[in-house]
Each structure stands twice: as structure tokens, then as C-alpha cells.
Structure 1
Amino acid sequence: MDTMTPVYGSGTLLLIAAAAVALLLVLIIVLRMHAFVALVLVSLGTAVAAGVPVADVPTIAIAAFGSTLGSVALLVGLGVMIGRLLEVTGGAQVLADSLISRFGEKRAPLALGVAALLFGLPIFFDAGLVVFLPIIFSVARRFGGSVLLYALPAAGAFAAMHAIVPPHPGPVTAATELGASIGLTLLVGIVVALVAWFAGVYAVTTSWLGKVHVPIDDSVLTGGREDVSEDARPAFAHVLGILLLPVLLIAGNTILTTLRTNETIGADNGVVDAFIFIGQTPVALLIALLVATYTLAIKSHTRAEIEGLLNDALGPICAIILITGAGGMFGGVLRYSGIGEALSDSLADLGLPLIVSAFVIATILRVAQGSATVALTTTAGLLSAAVTEADPSSLQLVALVLAIAAGATVLSHVNDSGFWLVGRFFGMDVKTTLRTWTVLETTLGLSIFVLALGVWAIG
């Protein structure tokens, strides 16, 4: 979706964006308006206030809504179906028991986070989180307490990998725009992701955010828990194979696409095309669902029962998908109105050090329009000329990518579709999500930025 030429100056646009966020919070928290209705209402009002022609407002809003649904609905729908089958067959419990037996009860949040870091290398944030839901809830039910103690380390791990480690689209695009090496970004990014996750996610969760009590409510995933006897549960290797299948397919897609982009392999190769196709995230999840259905669920359920289970799995997530789409609508309207671009243009001339400018501009873009990927790619484009003039080293280029990613991570709030996804999956209201997820994303982003400064100094 293109951006229109801003009608107002940066100051006015900033006030409009701030007023829109404030109004949204009042409607949801104070007046208890349904989040979906409030997001649609404020999105339309913001578009009009920002100078979008009234006749174009519905078209722009629907396009932003549809774009978000296109990227989220398929992944969430297929993911919760896989999760439902893992739940009712006892597969999630098998994985949870295996993790706990290896790490111990006290390190259960660490076990979930480490597993999510491994799975998060090739898989996107939302897809990884939704597939991990049954494992998170199984561990949480076993030990009790706040679900956040177990949910946040895993969600934060997926967020860290998605933000700074290729092959995820944001860091790849930023590295390409700045001329940084993708390989070096990958190597440094993995180390930074691990350290930043431990300091900014795991330590913060176990010492602070995990103590915010949120009851364990897995009805969004299962529609009610079903106990499975130990003898009827599948083997650990079987369950792990189902979870690893989409990860491996997506990783294959990434490798082959990169090789084709670098012209290492030819463009006309039917076998490569086929592997790239099955490695697309929705296709990979669909394949994993079929494998789970016909190798796992079919052993303990009839086909009619499986159909009912999968149908029931979709019901609880309809509200989540619609609210997430409406959050994308709000962010899309802010992007189209030119709010983010106007702010970044005014910030580009502040005379800050390059590494600090990268972080500050990305942060403002993140806060203004919500999308971390848009903040990453836009900031990289804005700084590309200055980077060329400064001629930093290869390692410093990677540090700039990390600094941009750090700014694009902090302060997730109501215009970020991921904010709604996490909040609704784990049964949090808006106030609690701001107290926990927003804080976690900010501590993660700040940890990444501190490490980026260190890489810049070394380089």
C-alpha cells in the first residue's frame, strides 16, 4: 500500500497519531468498548483527521485490514489446528514432559525459551508462537502460577529471532539496503539474539514480568482440556518430527531462494521450484497438519471426530484474527497518512551519531505505525545515503542493522498486530498487555541496542 503525500506538517501528524492512540486506550480500557469495534472506529477517524480523502478512507482501511489478515489468518488457522491435534493426542504433554525432564522444574521457562529460539530461526513470529501454544499451556498447567512465566520467554524468543536474524524479512531487507553482508549479519545476529533474549526477556520475565498473575486459560486453543493416558500418548520422536517438519521445509525454502537470488542455481529448475513452493510458510504448515492428522490423530480418533476437532479449533480464534486484522488496519492507516515518513524525515537531520540515529529513527517509526518490518526497511532506506558517505566497516554495517532492529522492536503497543495476537492468545486485557508485552519488547530492544553499540565499537 503506497503512502500519500502528507497534508499536514510533522508536528500536526504527531499530534494526530498521539490523540488516536490515547482515544483507542480510553475506548478499550475506560469505556470497555470491544477492541475490534474500537480499532475500526479509530482507524477510520484517524484517516479522516490525517487528511485522507473521505471517499478513499474505506478502501484504504479495508486494504490494510485485508493485508494483515492475508499474512496472519492462514498461519494462525493452520497452526491452531496442529496445536489442537497435539493437545488431544497427548503430543503436547509428551513434549512438555520431555523438556521438564531434561531441564528440571525450576528451569521450565528456560527450556521453553531455548526451544523457541531454535524453532524461531527459520519460522516467523506468529507462526512459531501459535504452533508452540499447546506446549506452553501444557507446561503452565503442570506447574501452575501465572501463564506469563512460561509464555513470555517463548514469545520473546520468537520476537528476538524475527527481529534480527536472517532469513527473516526485516533484517534481510535492512542488510541489503545498507550493503551489509547477510552471512555476517546471520552469524553476529544469532549471538546477539541469544544474549539479548537472556538479558532482556528471560531475566526480566523470571524476576519481574512472570510475577504478574494471569490465569492459565487455554480455551482459545483447545476449547477445553482433554486428558490422555500415558499409554495412549505418541512417542517423543513422532511429535518432535511433526513440529520440525515445517521448520525444515521453511529452512529449505530460505536456502534455495537465497541461492537462486545469488544466481548460484538457475532460475529454470522445476525441482527447486517445487521445494520453494512447499517451503512457503502456509504450505509447510498445511503439510505438517496433514501429517499430524494421518499419522497421529487417526490412531485414536475417527475421521468424523477429527473433522469436529479441527472445526472446533477454529471457533475460539475468530475474535483473535479479527482483532489482529483491525490492529493491522490501524497501523496501515497511520502508514498511508504519511505520519511515519514525515517524522523520520524530520529526525534524519538531527546530527546524531549514525548508530544512534539508526535506533532513534526506527523507534519513532515503530511507535508511529506499529509494524517492525516497515520500521526496519524504512529506516534502512533513509540512512542508506548517510551510510555510504560514512563508509563504515563490515562489522559496523551489521551493528547498524542491529540498531535499526532494536528500534523496530521496542514499545509494541495498540497499533501493532503482534500486540493483539500475544494479548488475546494468553488471555490478557489491554492494560495487562501494556504492562507485560510492551515492557518485554522494550527491554529486548534496548538489550539489542546495547549489544549493537558494542559491535559498533569493536568494528
Structure 2
Amino acid sequence: MDDWTQTLGAVPLLLIAAGAIALILLLIIKFKVHAFITLVLVSLLTAFVAGIPTSAIAGEMVGGFGGTLGSVALLVALGAMLGRIVEYSGGARILAERFVEAFGEKRAPFALGIASLILGFPMFFDAGLIMMLPIIFAIARRVSKNNVLLFGIPAAAAFSVMHVFLPPHPGPVTAIEAFNANIGVVMLVGLIIVFPVWYVSGYLWGKFVAARHSLVVPALFGDIDEDQPSNPPKVSTVILLLLLPMVLIFLNTGLSTLGSMGTIDVTQTWAQVLILLGNSPIALLITVIVATIVLGWRRGENGTALEKVIDSALGPIASVVLITGAGGMFGAVLRASGIGDALADTLSDLGMPVIVAAYLIAVILRLAQGSATVALVTAAGLVAPAVMAGDFSVLQVAAITLATAAGSVFAGHVNDSGFWLVGRLMGMDVKTTLKTWTIQQTIESLLAFALVLVVYGIGALL
């Protein structure tokens, strides 16, 4: 692949990508072909049609599949184990009851979304969502077993907006470095926009779709026993357990950000150890071990019973993991075809305002190849020279940074592994995921861009 150059232009590559996406939707929605088989098959056909060397096709497909599974499989498996232990101990039920008592059934989705915003500050999107799922499902069952979207969409959207717009998450940090933006100003502007963006695209949109799509809470963590334990853990114990991975992950993201700013030396042993412990899979592993001890052994459960409980969590998530990996494979094939680079190069030559160009390039890259991180990093790299050469204020550069981030989250669909992760975890089929999650991501992107445009205008007046 290193010595291969794509000879097709932007228009043929765009048609190939559009045809591949249409074929995926046709096979899954119309002909009911399993999503995993469909994604693998269409990835193979797309690679052939796009002209990727035959000898490299298998490597690109396996690399894309494995690259996605490297993080997703660990997070989903450990998250499912944690969720099953919390569910089995009665902790999820007792926390859900206390939560609904404190906020009421009508305010519960809003309160759950606010809690997810707070947890999402240090936690990556997928890790945060996995960790919150047992609580989301338990509260949904407590209020209405057919209303999972009423609670799932606001919580997932909360983790999404925090991941996309606020340091110390890797996307905005990378854009900050590319544009030489002031991290404090980006943080301040990001904090201002995340609540209204979440309120509209997460809370209000969640209420809207829940009224139109009735979805039973999935049994992701195994069958729910009707006979809950007579000695459930304290609410405070469950809350502290859920806060543990947040604190550990904050060590990772916080120290990494301070290191990139030159505030601390992250090569020192103590920093390396804390960063390792705060890596998302390691943090969840530690939390699962602590949950096994606190919610299992200390409550009188024996090893064999706990082993069976943990093992029962893995079966239901096998399909989620494989389909998410196949979605990553399809995105990797599209990236290898060069479609994103060709479209971005074409768009960057149109001479539009820098903030608009940054947003649109990120949108095109996102739609073309699926990965929000790749879209953000590539768009930032293409626009950075224009930002450096322009006479922009500190506030304007922060707005450009966040505009690029907003573009990178636009309309996640079948070439985005996150699309499959959210859809399958919440028990949605492809059509429902498109109608709910894809539109949520679109609203999030457009509203955030509109808000940062206002900030950009204010920066021009100062």
C-alpha cells in the first residue's frame, strides 16, 4: 500500500462510497442480511471497485477490523461484566429507585443526562456509555420498560458532546495543538456551548424519538432475575463504584493534557503508572475487580456463582462487538481508498472563510470514512496553515477549533463503528438507529457550529 497511489478522482470515489453505503442499507433493511456479513462483504466489494491492490485488500480489512476491536472489545466486555455484577447484586435496581425518588419520573431523563455530562468530562464516549448502561436500563425499567430511548439518547448524547468539544479528550486536544489555540479559551467556550447543544440534541430529541419509537429495554447483561437479592448494596456503594473509573480515567486524560502543555514531565515513572491505570480498559478492569469483591465476596457470594454471573454477561454482547468491528473495517477500507483526502483537497481550494472551510471539510471527511477522530485530525491539518497565516484573535481561533470538532461528529452512519455500538447496545435495528442516533449527531453538529459562529463573530469585534 505504501507505493500505491489512487488514480480515481473525487467524483468517482464519492460515487463508490455512496453506492457502498446504499448497498449496505439495502441488504440489511430490505433483504434482512445479517449486519456483520453485510459489512464484511461490502467492504470487500468496495476495496475491489476503488482499485485498492488485491494483495493489500485482506490486510486493510483485517487491520480495520482489529484496530476497532482493540479498544471496543475490551470496553464492551468489561462494561458488560460490570453491568451484570451491579444488576445481579441488586445495586442497579436500588440506585434506580433512589434516583427516581429523588428526581421524579418526569425529571429522571434530564437528571440522568446531567449526570452523564459530569461523568463525560474525563471519560471517553464509549467507556462512559458502557459504564452507565446498567443504570440507564434499570431506570428505564423502573419507569417504563418500553422507553429505553427516553433515557438512553440523553445519556449517550451527553457523553458525545463532552467527548467532541472539551479537552482533555483527544480530538479537541489534537485540534488545539494543530491550530496553536489557547486551551483555556477553548475549554471556556466549550463549557458554554455543551449544555445548550446537549439540551436540544440529547434531552429534547430523546423525548421526541421516545414518543415515536417504543423499544423494550434490552437484556444486554443477561436475563434479569425477578428474585432480587434481599441484601442489596447501599446506594452510596454503587455510586462510589461508578465514580471509580471516572477518577482513574481523569488521571490519564488530565496528566496527558498537562504533559502536552509542558506543565509536568509525563516521562517520570509515577506519571506513567497513573496514566496506565487511567487507560479506559485498565480502569474498567480495576472497577470490575473491585465490584466483584465489594458486590460479590463481601456480600457472601461464592466464587463459582460469581464466575457464572460474569460469564453470562459475555454472550449477549458478542454480536455487538463483531458488528462494531465490521463497521470499523468498512470505514478503514474507505480511508484506504483515499476518498476523504480527495474530497477534502477539492473543498479546501474553494476559497471560503476559514471557519466554514474547517467545518465543511470535517463534515465531508466524517461522511466519507466514518471516524470522527480521523475527520477532526485531517481537517485540522488541512486548515492549520490558513489559521496560522490569518490575523485571528484568540477567541476566533478557539471558535475555529470547535467548528472543526463540530464537523467531525456530523451524521454518524453505517461506516462509523460508533453508530453500530450505540444502535446494538440499545437494541435498535439499522433503520431506527438512522432515525434516532444519526439525526441526533446531525443536530449536535449543526447547533454547535451555529453557536461557535456567534462566538467567532464576537471575537472579530473584540
Same topology, TM > 0.5: yes
What does residue 44 of structure 2 align with? 44
Quickly say closer, same or farther: Cα 1:65–1:280, change in 2 above 3 A. same
Contact 1:218 1:224 in 2 (8 A): no
Deviation at 1:182, TM superposition (A): 1.9
Contact 1:75 1:285 in 2 (8 A): yes
Runs of 5+ consecutive residues of structure 1 not aligned to the other structure = none
CA distance in 2 between counterparts of 1:282 and 1:414 reads 25
**Which secondary structure state, in structure 1, belongs to the residue aligned with residue 313 of structure 2?**
helix
Where in structure 2 are the equivalents of 1:438-453 lying within 5 Å? 438-453=438-453
CA displacement, residues 47-66 of structure 1 (integer Å, 9 cap, x when unaligned): 11111011110011100100
What does residue 432 of structure 1 align with? 432
What does residue 325 of structure 1 align with? 325
Task: Say if 2:114 is the partner of 1:114.
Answer: yes
**Which secondary structure state, in structure 1, belongs to the residue aligned with residue 283 of structure 2?**
helix
CA distance in 1 between counterparts of 2:180 and 2:264 reads 22
What does residue 369 of structure 1 align with? 369
What does residue 150 of structure 2 align with? 149
Where in structure 2 are the equivalents of 1:228-377 lying within 5 Å? 228-229=228-229, 231-298=230-297, 299-377=299-377
CA displacement, residues 262-304 of structure 1 (integer Å, 9 cap, x when unaligned): 3433355322222121111111111111100001122142111
CA distance in 1 between counterparts of 2:262 and 2:382 reads 28
CA distance in 2 between counterparts of 1:217 and 1:2 reads 47
What does residue 405 of structure 2 align with? 405
CA distance in 2 between counterparts of 1:220 and 1:353 reads 47
What does residue 79 of structure 1 align with? 79
CA distance in 2 between counterparts of 1:24 and 1:3 reads 30
Q: Which residue type is aligned with residue 49 of structure 2?
A: A
CA distance in 2 between counterparts of 1:3 and 1:202 reads 48
CA distance in 1 between counterparts of 2:120 and 2:3 reads 31
Deviation at 1:187, TM superposition (A): 2.2
Task: Say if 2:199 is the partner of 1:198.
Answer: yes
CA distance in 2 between counterparts of 1:225 and 1:359 reads 48
Where in structure 2 are the equivalents of 1:373-384 lying within 5 Å? 373-384=373-384
CA distance in 2 between counterparts of 1:418 and 1:238 reads 31
CA distance in 1 between counterparts of 2:3 and 2:183 reads 28
What does residue 132 of structure 1 align with? 132
Deviation at 1:426, TM superposition (A): 1.1
Quickly say closer, same or farther: Cα 1:185–1:98, change in 2 above 3 A. farther
Residues 110-119 or 90-99, more deviating: 90-99
Task: Say if 2:29 is the partner of 1:5.
Answer: no
CA distance in 1 between counterparts of 2:412 and 2:2 reads 23
Quickly say closer, same or farther: Cα 1:412–1:201, change in 2 above 3 A. same
CA distance in 1 between counterparts of 2:101 and 2:37 reads 45
Report percent identity of matched pairs.
51
Give the RMSD, CA atoms, in angstroms: 1.6
Deviation at 1:377, TM superposition (A): 0.7
Deviation at 1:354, TM superposition (A): 1.5
What does residue 189 of structure 2 align with? 188
Q: Which residue type is aligned with residue 235 of structure 1?
A: K
Contact 1:399 1:456 in 2 (8 A): yes
CA distance in 1 between counterparts of 2:237 and 2:429 reads 36
Deviation at 1:209, TM superposition (A): 1.2
Deviation at 1:4, TM superposition (A): 5.5
Deviation at 1:453, TM superposition (A): 0.7
Q: Which residue type is aligned with residue 54 of structure 1?
A: T
Task: Say if 2:167 is the partner of 1:166.
Answer: yes
Contact 1:43 1:330 in 2 (8 A): yes
Deviation at 1:226, TM superposition (A): 4.6
Quickly say closer, same or farther: Cα 1:315–1:433, change in 2 above 3 A. same
Runs of 5+ consecutive residues of structure 2 not aligned to the other structure = none
Contact 1:129 1:155 in 2 (8 A): yes
